[in-house]
Chains A and B, each alone.
Chain A
Amino acid sequence: MILFWIFAGITLFGIIGYLFQMIAVRSYTAPPHSGEGMRFPRSFPPVSILKPLKGLDDGLFDNLESFCNLDYPEYELIFALQNQNDPAYKVVKKIKDKYPARDICIVVEHCDEGLNPKVNNLIPAYRKAKYDLILISDSNVRVEKDYLSDISRHMADASVGLVSNMIRGISGRSVGAVLENLHLNSFIVGSVCFLDKYLRMPCVIGKSMLMRKDDLEAIGGFGAVKDLLAEDYIIGERIHRLGKKVLLSNHVINNVNEYWGVKKFINRHTRWGKLRWKIGGAKYFPELLSNAVFMSFIPLIFLPFTKLSLFLAAATSVTKIARDYYLGNRLGADMHPLLYAFTPFKDLVIGSLWFVPVLSNTVAWRGNRYIIGKDSLLFPYPETGLKVWRPRIVTAIKTRLALSKY
């Protein structure tokens, strides 16, 4: 029974954490008081928007088109691809043809300066950028017309080094996409706001990063992060160390996840978990303890069955569903209310995935396999030696299984 009460206590700790996250998100999504954000005169400095592209993201055309319709006087769009055979190339060509008056540049250049494929895409795009302000924006992001004017106002303050945004997952139509959006709209947004509000810890997510070229150069440019998997977080941290402010804008941007498979959801969060483990070290452990749903199910699964353990799991699940529903509404997510019922299942999956980073240090990303070290430093996966046999055996088994269907 004592074990039960230990887990009940940890669950309570997690629920209190949920409460603090709710307060943090609420404070960021509250409507601004009159005059807030107007401390500096409103100016619209020209911006170079860098869009690294690889493959087709859900709703890619609309995502890219949303950047052509920004209410902003002067900006350029730089779409960067590694080669013309990328299916995204056709989409950006269509976008360029549709908006001939817009300042759009398509950079197709193979770059293998580093191991991070996104940074490899950004390096040639950065060379083309003609303005002092650069905005790095992922291809799965869709924005409103006032997005750029809303975030660029922060740069009028010279002490601000980087502006990132809150994200909300939208458009989920498959199980994997619904799980992804539930996670983005609860754990991810809650954690980012919590860290920013209570711990003053910049937690930059690379979906949207506005900064000055000077500040990026001061931390060594893209060359300094070319071999890091968490280049976004590290850029934010290093700009913070320069003594500049790293702001989390309350302008919520959309992350479109429409037809994800469950496998993709699992892959992404295993990868992100490995990042947090390699960067945070011991700080990674509270993450499991704060997963109240997972903790509340442990007594139910591993201890002798009691009505009390069933009540604990049920009550925690209901609380978490209610909390996620609140956060989703607060963010303006487009999810059907009934889909929030997936929340406990999602938290159980995430809780199970928590252990993977502790046991494995390899990541597969954008078709490449790496070994991940401290601070998310990437190393090429060895081509020789014993390690090379593991993926080969896995591939052979997968091929056999696929063939056996026929």
Chain B
Amino acid sequence: MLLCDFHIHTTYSDGSVELKRTIDLFGQAGFDVIAITDHVVNGDNPLGKLAHRFKYSVTAANFSQYISHIKEEAERARNKYDMLVIPGIEITKNHLTSDNSAHMLIIDVQDFIPACISYEEIFLEAKKQSALTIACHPHYMSAKTDRDTLFLWNNRDKYARFIDAWEIANRDDVFNVISLKKYPYIANSDFHKPRHLYSWKTLLNCAKDVDSIKQCIRHNKGVAMTLFRN
């Protein structure tokens, strides 16, 4: 089984660990597959503007640098740790209310996708790039510091068919509603700090290449979750 984490932030957005060190942290711990998914924040409201101002967002301007840096590090990770690193982003639509906020991962992203376009356009663009779309922390979270992002769950009837998988677990939280709905699932750390390494992870039973991994998640066969602890 491949030990995987598809939700990882670096200093390209609001993570506290720079990309190289993040990759080393996961490599040193024996991971097989990770995705780097820094925030792309909507800049069309005060919250988003603040994120842009404090450089907590990947932007169209630095996207190519972001991707090439990940690719460079991915090669190093493959050679050194035999670990696959997939480039991604976390589309971050923050609004004042939890009901209107949504975060989603675009795994294996090729071109920049702005967060201020409509959900339909985002899903279409992701599909065009053959990227995976994952709904992040879709339900109520326990930690007070994190804001809930309920939009996709509240509008699941409309959007579920566009979403490849849902986060059934995020760091310490488990969302049993995903299980009840029998949606395809994965589990991630939402890594921002080194201690987040020890959290929920995904185990995949497939070959270690991007296409097999995407297929495995989409079909949601051979997928398991594990609480990674030291």
Interface string of B6-42 (1 = CB under 8 A from A): 0000000000000000001001111000000000000
By a CB distance below 8 angstroms, the chain B residues around A62 are 28
Tell whether, in the assembled complex, residue B29 and residue A91 are in contact, meaning their CB atoms are under 8 Å apart. yes
Shortest C-beta distance, B139 to chain A (Å), equals 14
**Binding-face segment, A52-60, A68-76, A146-154, A299-307:** A52-60
Do A94 and B82 contact each other (CB < 8 Å), given the known contacts A56-B29, A61-B30, A87-B29?
yes
**Is the C-beta of A379 less than 8 angstroms from some C-beta in chain B?**
no
By a CB distance below 8 angstroms, the chain B residues around A59 are 24, 28
In the complex, A381→B28 CA distance in Å? 34
By a CB distance below 8 angstroms, the chain B residues around A90 are 3, 30
In the complex, A93→B2 CA distance in Å? 13
Tell whether, in the assembled complex, residue A174 and residue B194 are in contact, meaning their CB atoms are under 8 Å apart. yes
Interface string of B140-172 (1 = CB under 8 A from A): 001110000000000000000000000000000
**Is the C-beta of A157 less than 8 angstroms from some C-beta in chain B?**
no
In the complex, A315→B147 CA distance in Å? 49
Tell whether, in the assembled complex, residue B144 and residue A405 are in contact, meaning their CB atoms are under 8 Å apart. yes
**Is the C-beta of A259 less than 8 angstroms from some C-beta in chain B?**
yes
By a CB distance below 8 angstroms, the chain B residues around A93 are 30
By a CB distance below 8 angstroms, the chain B residues around A261 are 195
By a CB distance below 8 angstroms, the chain A residues around B81 are 61, 94
Shortest C-beta distance, B154 to chain A (Å), equals 22
Tell whether, in the assembled complex, residue B194 and residue A259 are in contact, meaning their CB atoms are under 8 Å apart. yes
Tell whether, in the assembled complex, residue A259 and residue B195 are in contact, meaning their CB atoms are under 8 Å apart. yes
Shortest C-beta distance, B5 to chain A (Å), equals 13
In the complex, A33→B19 CA distance in Å? 45
By a CB distance below 8 angstroms, the chain A residues around B229 are 87
In the complex, A94→B82 CA distance in Å? 8
**Is the C-beta of A112 less than 8 angstroms from some C-beta in chain B?**
no
**Is the C-beta of B118 less than 8 angstroms from some C-beta in chain A?**
no
Tell whether, in the assembled complex, residue A87 and residue B230 are in contact, meaning their CB atoms are under 8 Å apart. yes
By a CB distance below 8 angstroms, the chain A residues around B230 are 55-56, 87
Quick one: closest A residue to B145, CB to CB? A405
In the complex, A88→B82 CA distance in Å? 16
Tell whether, in the assembled complex, residue B82 and residue A60 are in contact, meaning their CB atoms are under 8 Å apart. no
> Which residues from 108 to 142 on chain A have a C-beta closer than 8 Å to any C-beta of chain B?
none
**Is the C-beta of A97 less than 8 angstroms from some C-beta in chain B?**
yes
In the complex, A87→B32 CA distance in Å? 13
Tell whether, in the assembled complex, residue B30 and residue A91 are in contact, meaning their CB atoms are under 8 Å apart. yes
Shortest C-beta distance, B49 to chain A (Å), equals 31
Quick one: closest B residue to A259, CB to CB? B194
> Which residues from 158 to 207 on chain A have a C-beta closer than 8 Å to any C-beta of chain B?
173-174
Interface string of A242-286 (1 = CB under 8 A from B): 000000000000000001010000000000000000000000000
In the complex, A61→B32 CA distance in Å? 13
In the complex, A97→B195 CA distance in Å? 28
Tell whether, in the assembled complex, residue A60 and residue B195 are in contact, meaning their CB atoms are under 8 Å apart. no
Shortest C-beta distance, A95 to chain B (Å), equals 9
Shortest C-beta distance, A406 to chain B (Å), equals 5
Instruction: Give the interface of B toward A (CB within 8 A).
Output: 3, 24, 27-30, 81-82, 142-144, 194-195, 228-230
Having A56-B28, A259-B194, one finds 10 other A-B pairs with CB under 8 Å, namely A56-B230, A59-B28, A61-B28, A91-B29, A94-B81, A98-B82, A259-B195, A405-B143, A405-B144, A406-B142
Closest 10 CB pairs of A and B: A90-B30, A91-B30, A61-B28, A259-B194, A55-B230, A406-B142, A56-B230, A56-B29, A59-B28, A60-B28
